[in-house]
Amino acid sequence: MTAGEALALPGGKLPDGVIAALVDGKPVDLAHRLETDARVAPVTFDMPEGKDVYRHSSAHIMAQAVKDLFPTAKLTIGPPIEEGFYYDFAYERPFTPEDLEKIEARIREIIKADKPFQRSEMSREKAIEFFRQRGEDYKCELIQGFEDPSVSMYDQGGLIDLCRGPHVPSTGHIHAIKLLTSAGAYWRGDERNPMLQRIYGTSFPTKELLDAYLHKLEEIKKRDHRKLGKELDLISVTDEIGPGLILWLPKGSIVRLQIENFWREQHQQHGYALVYSPHVARLDLWKTSGHTEYYRENMFATMKVEASDYQLKPMNCPFHIMMYKTHLRSYRDLPLRYAELGTVYRYERSGVLHGLMRVRGFTQDDAHLFCRPDQLEEEVARVLDFTFFVLKTFGFSDYQVFVSTKPEKAVGSEEEWKQATGALEAALKGRGVAFSVDAGEGVFYGPKIDIKIKDVLGRSWQCSTVQVDFNNPERFGLEFVGEDGHTHRPIMIHRALMGSIERFFGILIEHHAGAFPTWLAPVQAVAIAITDKHAEYAKKVVHRLTAAGYRVEADLRSEKMGLKIREAEKAKVPYMLVAGDREMQDGTLSVRTRGGANAGTMTVEAFLEHLRNDVEGRGLAGIPPVQ
């Protein structure tokens, strides 16, 4: 389009679903007038930019409704977020569910009024005075932090709010909106600041899309690992021990043991040396690694031991570096691959702790590889193959891959960054893996690959990462003797396949809805005696199966069989083995599978063979469908 044209003239007909525009790639309002010739493209809700515009506008409508009903509430910020939006208000009390119903009713009235979103600009000084007169102290504070001489605001016929935009053309463009919950939140996320009242919501172009999303939320609640972790007797968190510190109960420990055994077995097969390191070290080690400089706020306080300061470890990497330094290394020794299930401790604020997903003490699925520069691409490729194999084994085959490149503040030369980034991209391309580039989002010490897995509900989880490090080999003076007889600097790769055991376990619980595949299940089968006279036969069945190495229990209670089966299903046991008169006489079992299916009658040895195939194949049929 050419300069001077408006993207959408008043009364002009727009294509269905267009709510904003991209001008040379930048989202703008449809009322925007071009200052120069530009490439223009429509924005719809189906696009990431469209979802942001739609839900940001929804947040403004909600803010207007709150101000109409609660005039003393002060405005702060209201951004779009993944799958929704929120707005924070300074108000004297928390908002109740009844308040949310009233706000939602007022939102519907505002949408029906179909008032236009109108953008205007004002100098910083005038804007501060404008909001000061309205008692909006938080808006004044925000504007004072801006560097631009002018700010933009939006008037929607009942609320004038500070905002960069863009927005939908009018309030009537929002069709299906739902307020979800309210919670406390500190101003600017700082616990030293006042507590605000946050309202979360979501919005969609159609009621059908909204209903589908609300159904998904119900499924998420049913699968919540904190709920299932308690119901299935897997984990516990208590105030007496402290927030963010997990107790692994016997059944949870069994699942964890299977994960760790698989991890160790596979690492040994993939050429890694398994190592162990202490939980504490002298503070000087963390000074050398740079953690005290770059990571101090996430580290626990130091402890004094014999006049020296010691630190609980937040990372395992410095220990693996010191292992490398125990010998003079030759180019023939490389690559070296150290792997450790290393427990680390990080100070997370109480407000962000969340079950197993965000904790203060956790075990990292950690490894560090030391290689020559010419080995980098091959080592990254090996890590990728290993990662995808492990993820698939646990039921994850849908994922997104990102390559993060050099940030503004970084160590290492341009040549090193170019070589390392090229090696990451070449390894991905060589395996036909599609990826996106996160420009400037690499860590300061090198570029990285991040892999986000998608669970059965379509949610993304960051677990696997591959990071190239120029910094630590330099800081610790790592060397190897090259083929030329001179010393050279190795490249270090930080690598995690699952991330932390705790978080991965939480994801597994929710992905499988607690119904783990048989190889992971804490109890793989339960033998159910119909009456007391069948108890001895059930015991013999259990003895045979446990002797073969499987996790099998007997239910010998004097209860009705239907109750026993229901309780076994509630406990997510993969197999129920019913033993009655006929089974005892014929040496067979009536086999039921989790979910109520009848697998028929089979001999004990036939079931043992079936169980063996299920476990050794690590079958993933246990993933329940989303209802």
Please tell me the distance from the alpha carbon of residue 47 to that of residue 579, in angstroms, as a whole number. Answer: 57
Which one from 364, 375, 419, 467 is the annotated catalytic residue? 364
Q: How far is it between the farthest Cα atoms of the chain?
A: 92
The length of the chain in residues reads: 627
Based on C-alpha coordinates, what's the Rg of the chain? 29
Catalytic-residue membership of 317: yes
Catalytic-residue membership of 346: yes
Write out the H or E segment, with its range, that includes residue 56.
helix 48-69
Catalytic-residue membership of 114: no
Which one from 167, 346, 372, 512 is the annotated catalytic residue? 346
For residue 293, the SS3 value is: helix
Please tell me the distance from the alpha carbon of residue 522 to that of residue 542, in angstroms, as a whole number. Answer: 15
- CB contact at 8 A, 184 and 175: no
For residue 335, the SS3 value is: coil
Strand pairing category for 40-44 and 26-28: unpaired
Residues contacting residue 43 through CB under 8 Å, at least 6 positions apart: 18, 19, 20, 21, 22, 27, 49, 50, 53
Catalytic-residue membership of 560: no
Catalytic-residue membership of 291: no
For residue 180, the SS3 value is: strand
Which one from 32, 55, 225, 448 is the annotated catalytic residue? 448
| Selection from 150, 138, 141, 164 nearest residue 57 by Cα | 164
Which one from 52, 161, 256, 317 is the annotated catalytic residue? 317
Please tell me the distance from the alpha carbon of residue 480 to that of residue 382, in angstroms, as a whole number. Answer: 22
Does residue 239 come out as left (phi exceeding 0), alpha (psi in the -120 to 50 range) or beta?
alpha
Which one from 67, 173, 368, 572 is the annotated catalytic residue? 368
Which one from 29, 88, 161, 366 is the annotated catalytic residue? 366
CA 463 vs CA 16, 260, 467, 501, 625: distances in Å: 39, 16, 13, 10, 23
Q: What torsion, rounded to 10 degrees, do the Cα atoms 48, 74, 131, 52 define? A: 0
Angle between helices 137-144 and 124-133 in degrees, nearest 10 = 170
| Selection from 47, 39, 34, 46 nearest residue 8 by Cα | 34
Please tell me the distance from the alpha carbon of residue 507 to that of residue 519, in angstroms, as a whole number. Answer: 17
- CB contact at 8 A, 88 and 77: yes
| Long-range Cβ pairs for the range 278-283 (8 Å, 24+) | 278/313, 278/319, 279/312, 279/313, 279/343, 279/345, 280/310, 280/311, 280/312, 280/313, 281/310, 281/311, 281/313, 281/318, 281/319, 282/308, 282/309, 282/310, 282/311, 283/308, 283/309, 283/310, 283/311
Count of Cβ atoms closer than 10 Å to residue 281 Cβ? 17
Residue that has been written with the tokens 């706020």 in this structure: 297
Catalytic-residue membership of 368: yes
Please tell me the distance from the alpha carbon of residue 54 to that of residue 473, in angstroms, as a whole number. Answer: 47
Specify the amino acid at residue 117: F
Please tell me the distance from the alpha carbon of residue 475 to that of residue 413, in angstroms, as a whole number. Answer: 15
Cα angle 320, 322, 326 (rounded to 5 degrees) comes to 115
Please tell me the distance from the alpha carbon of residue 49 to that of residue 210, in angstroms, as a whole number. Answer: 19
Which one from 223, 251, 494, 534 is the annotated catalytic residue? 494
Please tell me the distance from the alpha carbon of residue 607 to that of residue 544, in angstroms, as a whole number. Answer: 11
- List active site positions: 317, 346, 364, 366, 368, 448, 494
